[in-house]
Structure 1
Amino acid sequence: MPTATFLNTLSIDIPWLEQVVPKDKRQAIQRRIDHQLKPPGALGALETIMRQWASCAYLQGKSGPLQVSSPRLIIFAADHGVAAERVSLAGSEVTPVMVERFLAGDAAVSVAARQSGVELEIVDCGVEQPIPSHPRVTACRLGAGTGAIHKEPAMSLETAAEGMNKGIEVARERCAAGMDLMCVGEMGIANTTAAAALMAGLTGYAPAACTGIGTGIDADTLAHKRTLVDKALVLHLPSAKNDPLLLAARLGGFEIVVMAGALLGAAEQGVISVIDGFVAGVAACLACALVPSVKDYLIFAHSGGEQGHSALLEYLEVKALMGLRLRIGEGVGSALLVPTIRTALACYNDMASITEVGLSS
Structure 2
Amino acid sequence: MSSTDTTLEQRVRQRIDGKTKPLGALGQLEELAVQVALIQQTETPVLDNPHLLVFAGDHGLTTEGISAYPAAVTYGMVQNFIAGGAAINVFCRQNGLNLLVCDVGVDGTFAENTPEFVKFKVSPGTRNMRYEPAMTADECAAAVDAGKTLVNGVAYRGCTVVGFGEMGIGNTSSAALLMHRFMNRPLQECIGRGTGLDEAGLRQKRTILQAVADRYVHLTDPMAILAALGGLEIAAIAGGMIQAAENGMVILVDGFIATSALLVAQALVPSVRANCIFCHQSDEAGHRLMLDYLNAKPLLHLDLRLGEGTGCALAYPLVQAAVNMLNEMATMDVLY
Class of the TM-score when normalised by the shorter of the 2 chains = over 0.9
Q: Which residue of 1 aligns with 2:81?
A: 102
CA distance in 2, matches of 1:80, 1:93: 10
Query: What SS does the corresponding residue of 1:322 show, helix, strand or coil?
Result: coil
What SS class does the counterpart of residue 67 from structure 2 fall into?
coil
Counting only pairs closer than 5 Å after superposition, residues 279-318 of structure 1 correspond to structure 2 as: 279-318=257-296
TM-score by length of 1: 0.89
- Aligned partner (choices 233, 238, 241) of residue 255 of structure 1: 233
What code does the residue aligned with 1:188 have? G
Query: Cα offset for 1:218?
Result: 0.3
Aligned 8 A contact 1:237 1:247 in 2: no
Distance 2:127 2:73 in 1: 18
* Residue 52 (1) aligns with residue 35 (2): yes
**Alpha-carbon offset, residue 19 of structure 1:** 6.6
Alpha-carbon deviations, 1:63-122, whole Å to 9, x = none? 7x4332311111010000011122112111111111111121121111111111111111
Answer yes or no: is the 8 Å Cα contact 2:5–2:38 preserved in 1.
no
**Conserved in 2, the CA contact under 8 Å of 1:21 and 1:55?**
no
**What does residue 40 of structure 1 align with?**
23
1:181 aligns with 2:168: no
TM-score by length of 2: 0.96
RMSD in angstroms over aligned alpha carbons? 1.5
Between the two proteins, the alignment pairs up a number of residues equal to: 335
Quote the residue 1:88 is aligned against. 67
One-letter amino acid matched to 2:198: D
**Is the Cα contact below 8 Å between 2:107 and 2:125 reproduced in 1?**
yes
Return closer, same or farther for 1:214/1:20 CA change in 2, 3 Å cut-off: farther
**Does 1:324 pair with 2:307?**
no
Of 195, 212, 224 in structure 2, the residue corresponding to residue 215 of structure 1 is: 195
Asked if residue 156 in structure 1 is aligned to residue 139 in structure 2, the reply is no
User: Could you list the per-position Cα deviations for residues 235-266 of structure 1 after superposition, in whole angstroms to 9, with x for gaps in the alignment?
Assistant: 0121x13x211110110000011111011111
**Equivalent position SS for 1:70:** coil
**Structure 1 stretches of at least 4 aligned residues deviating more than 6 Å after TM superposition:** none
The whole-number CA distance in structure 2 between the counterparts of 1:356 and 1:149 is 63
* Partner Cα distance (2:196, 2:104) in 1: 25
1:124 touches 1:130 (CA, 8 Å); kept in 2?
no
Judge conservation of contact 2:40–2:249 (CA < 8 Å) in 1: no
- Is the CA contact (8 Å cut-off) linking 1:124 and 1:141 kept in structure 2? yes
Whether the 8 Å CA contact 2:253–2:276 is kept in 1: the answer is yes
Q: 1:147 to 1:21 in 2, by over 3 A?
A: farther
Aligned partner letter, 1:91: P
Q: Please give the secondary structure, in 2, of the residue aligned with 1:172.
A: helix
Tell me what 2:5 maps to.
22
Report percent identity of matched pairs: 36
SS of structure 1 residue aligned to 2:216: helix
What SS does the corresponding residue of 2:75 show, helix, strand or coil? helix
Shift of 1:20: 6.8
| Corresponding residue to 1:76 among 46, 52, 55 | 55
- Aligned counterpart for 2:323 among listed residues 345, 348, 360: 345
* In structure 1, distance between residues paired with 2:292 and 2:186: 14
User: Pairwise mapping of residues 96-245 of structure 1 onto structure 2 (< 5 A)?
Assistant: 96-135=75-114, 136-238=116-218, 240-241=219-220, 243-245=221-223
Distance 1:188 1:298 in 2: 23
> Structure 2 unaligned runs (5+)?
none
Higher mean alpha-carbon deviation, 159-168 vs 213-222, is at 159-168
What whole-Å deviation, never above 9, does each CA across 1:267-288 have from its counterpart, x for those lacking one? 1111111011100010111111
